Amino acid sequence: MASIFSRIVAGEIPCYKVAETDTCLAFLDINPMAKGHLLCIPKKEIDYIFDLDDAQFTDLQLFSKRVAKALKQAVQCIRVGVAVQGLDVPHAHIHLIPLNSPDDLDFKRADRPKFTPEEFQQLAAEIARHF
């Protein structure tokens, strides 16, 4: 069965899209740890990030770097943090998380910020503008 992220790539499930190339997609995380938390994925479904071949891995990293620069311009933060977990969704992805405090990279934090669909949409458009 296709991963939820493959279904997003196929357009079967909506997302707040931030950036796209022929091979990669970036969209806002639906349960963000901080404002602007987003995910960069290869469009081709491969579960474990270290199973990507060298070209796919490099492509995803360079895409993430470009997205991180756009994110930093769009969202006030000290730095953009990077995390790879993949314990929930079996489709390789890189978390990019604007950091203003070490807690912003705590996957266990309970007080996650909430956004309306309109706020998510505006945020995605603002990041996309800088890509």
88: contact with ligand 5GP by CB under 6 A: yes
Which is it for strands 17-20 and 38-42: parallel, antiparallel or unpaired?
unpaired
Strands of the sheet containing 24-28, edge to edge, are 17-20, 24-28, 38-42, 94-99, 79-83
Segment interacting with ligand 5GP (CB under 6 A) among 21-29, 57-65, 74-82, 111-119: 21-29
Near ligand 5GP by CB under 6 A: residue from 17, 45, 86, 115: 86
Q: Report whether 38 contacts 24 (CB < 8 A).
A: no
Site string for ligand 5GP, 41-80 (x = CB under 6 A): ----------------------------------------
105: contact with ligand 5GP by CB under 6 A: no
Residue 93 falls in the annotated catalytic set? yes
Measured distance CA(49)–CA(62) in Å, rounded: 14
Q: Which two tokens stand for residue 71?
A: 């994110």
Measured distance CA(65)–CA(26) in Å, rounded: 11
Q: Which two tokens stand for residue 129?
A: 């503008």
Near ligand 5GP by CB under 6 A: residue from 27, 34, 35, 42: 27
DSSP conformational letter for 22: S
Near ligand 5GP by CB under 6 A: residue from 58, 73, 85, 100: 85
Q: Which residues bind ligand 5GP (CB under 6 A)?
A: 4, 13, 15, 27-31, 39, 85-89
So which residues are the catalytic ones? Answer: 93
